Amino acid sequence: MKKRLLATCLAVASTPLIAQAASVDLNVTGRVIPTSCIPAFAGGSDVNLGRIFSSALAPDRQNDLPPRDISLQITCSAPASVEIAVTDNRGASKVPGLAFNGRSGDELYYGLGSTQGVGIGGFGLLSGLPRTDGVPQILLARTLANPSWSVPTNGLITNSPTTYSWGSSSASGPAAARLHTLPMKVAAAIRATSELPPTTDEFDLDGSVTFDVFYL
């Protein structure tokens, strides 16, 4: 043991001294920034259903109005997968028992405002074919109770807590892209006029929903 230690010390002691030259540092810097996605509606976020004459409305059944096309576009700074949730800002005015796209259920549609405290009707959001960077995809949906992605069958974008995304299949899940496009139709309906307060005054339709976008 002593011999080995001595040999090591002698070897170090016999190494010639090397003079140190000037030095320079290399600094590697950068910044990681989150992907940014901005949602917007092509053509604006206001859907005007126009002037509707009460004389043209039926007193004994749901009055369906002509649907209007809209398109949600989500532009991302880098390829990203997203999901959306829709919240009804006029939920208290929703008229129960309406049907949209052949489906009924209060969770499927949204309020359309009220007159004299009475709900006027509702509107559904009929889903079209989503696209990611121009590539057609399949609409996907999930809930907190059922967190796995599945393909919805009602053809509607419904109230939160159901959330939506799109991809090639439910197994592969949401697709990443720079541009996400979800075309929809706003299908509004006014309840039977016999259920509305009698009035000779005009009243406004007032639907409002919020689309929240989440990164995945």
Q: What mean pLDDT, rounded, does the chain reach? A: 89
Residue 23 lies in a domain: no
CATH of residue 83's domain is 2.60.40
The answer to whether 183 and 70 have CB atoms below 8 angstroms apart is yes
Residue 32 lies in a domain: no
**Range of the structural domain that residue 77 is part of:** 37-46+54-215
Residue 14 lies in a domain: no
- Record the tokens describing residue 56, joined without a space: 């043209």
Mean pLDDT in residue range 177-188: 97
Question: How would residue 55 be classed by pLDDT, with cut points 50, 70 and 90?
Answer: confident
For 10-26, what is each residue's pLDDT tens digit?
Answer: 344 445 556 667 888 88
Mean pLDDT in residue range 43-72: 93
- The alpha carbon torsion through 181, 187, 188, 194 (nearest 10 deg) reads -170
Residue 9 lies in a domain: no
Residue 102 lies in a domain: yes
The Cα–Cα gap between 97 and 109 comes to: 10
Question: Which residues are CB-neighbours of 144 under 8 A, at least 6 positions away?
Answer: 161
Residue 26 lies in a domain: no
pTM of the model: 0.84
End-to-end Cα distance, the chain: 62
User: pLDDT at position 96, please?
Assistant: 95
For 100-116, what is each residue's pLDDT tens digit?
Answer: 999 999 999 999 999 99
* Total domain count, the chain: 1
Q: 85-102 burial by CB neighbour count: b if 16+ within 10 A, else e?
A: bbebebeebbbeebebbe
User: pLDDT at position 22, please?
Assistant: 81
The answer to whether 188 and 205 have CB atoms below 8 angstroms apart is yes
For 122-177, what is each residue's pLDDT tens digit?
Answer: 999 999 999 999 999 999 999 999 999 999 999 999 999 999 999 999 999 999 99
The answer to whether 74 and 38 have CB atoms below 8 angstroms apart is yes
The Cα–Cα gap between 50 and 52 comes to: 6
Residue 1 lies in a domain: no
